[in-house]
Amino acid sequence: MNQALHRFSVEGRVVVVTGASSGIGKHMATVLAHAGAGVVLVARRKDTIDSLADTLRRDIPTARVHTVCCDLNAVEDFDALAIELSAPFGAPNSLINAAGVNFREPADQISAQSWNQTINLNLTVPFFLSRALVNGMRGDGTIINIASLQSIRAFPDSMPYGASKGGVTQLTRAMAQAWSPEGVRANAIAPGFFPTELTQAVFDDDAKAAANARQTCIGRNGELEDLSGPTLFLCSAASSYMTGQVLYVDGGFTAK
C-alpha cells in the first residue's frame, strides 16, 4: 500500500461504537470491521448486536468483534463500563459516540423525563464514556462524536435534541482542548438526512424527504455509504492534524 493510503488504515485498531444496533453506528462499525479494526458493539438490543457480530464474523474471517448489551442512560459507573469494554481486545484506540434519540415532541409536550433522557444519552453519556476510556487511549486515540444539522439549525419539534447536538459540537472542542496534548483527538461528524430508524418518520413522508433533498447542494439525501470515508478518515492517521472539528457530511445542506 502506498504511504498516503496507508495513513487511512485502521487495521489493528480497536474501536468502541455505541448505537451499533442500528443506522449510523451499525454502518460505521461494519465499515471499520471490514477495514481490519476490532470492534466493540454497544446497544440495548442484544439480539441485534449479536446478529451483527455473527454477520461480521461470517463475512470477515479475521474479524475481532465483541458485543456489550447496555442501556447507556442507566449507567452509574462509567469506569466499570470502560473495564468491560476493554476486556476482550485491550484498551480501545477509538470511541464513536453514535447512540442517540430524538423523541420529536412539540415544545408544550416535552416532559422533564424526555428532556433529561435526550440530553443524557446525546450529550452527557458521550462525555462520561469518553472520559472513562481516554486514559487507555493516550498517545494514539480518536473520539468521534455525532453532531447534527441541528447543532447549528433549528428544526420543528426537536428542542432537547437540538440543544443536545449544539452541546455536542462544543463538547467536541472542549475534549480536543483537554485531551489532544495527550494524543487523543476529538472530532465530530455532522450528518445531513440519512435513512435510519431515527429518521424513519421523515423519510416516510415523501414531501418532507424531497424538501430535505432539495435543500442540499448535491440534490439528494444521504446514503449510509456516504459516511464510510469520513469514518475511516477521522479514526485513522489520515486526520492526524485535525482535532476539535465538526465535519459536515450533509450534501451541502448547510452550505446553502
Ligand X SMILES: NC(=O)c1ccc[n+]([C@@H]2O[C@H](COP(=O)([O-])OP(=O)(O)OC[C@H]3O[C@@H](n4cnc5c(N)ncnc54)[C@H](OP(=O)(O)O)[C@@H]3O)[C@@H](O)[C@H]2O)c1
- Select the span of 59-67, 68-76, 175-183, 208-216 touching ligand X (CB under 6 A): 68-76
113-142 positions binding ligand X, by CB under 6 A: 121-122
Burial class (CB in 10 A: 0-12, 13-18, 19+), 65: buried
Binding-site string for ligand X from residue 96 to residue 115, where x marks contact by CB under 6 A and - marks none: --xxxx--------------
Known catalytic residue at 241 = no
Q: Backbone phi, then psi, for 184, in 5-degree steps?
A: -115, 115
- Select the span of 65-73, 108-116, 175-183, 237-245 touching ligand X (CB under 6 A): 65-73
Q: Retrieve residue 79's grid coordinates.
A: 469506569
143-182 positions binding ligand X, by CB under 6 A: 146, 148
Task: List, as one string, the DSSP characters of 182-236.
Answer: GTEEEEEEEE----SSTTHHHHHSHHHHHHHHHHSSSSS---GGGGHHHHHHHHS
Count CB atoms within 10 A of the CB of residue 189: 25
Q: How far apart are the two ends of the chain, measured CA to CA in Å?
A: 38
Q: Retrieve residue 48's grid coordinates.
A: 441485534
- The reply to whether 187 sits near ligand X by the rule CB under 6 A is no
Q: Which of 158, 196, 236, 239 is close enough to bind ligand X by CB under 6 A?
A: 196
- For residue 216, the one-letter residue type is T
Q: Which of 78, 89, 161, 179 is catalytic?
A: 161
- Select the span of 31-39, 80-88, 95-103, 236-244 touching ligand X (CB under 6 A): 95-103
Nearer Cβ to ligand X (153/173):
153
Residues identified as active-site: 161
Binding site for ligand X (CB under 6 A): 18-25, 43-45, 48, 71-73, 98-101, 121-122, 146, 148, 191, 193-194, 196-199
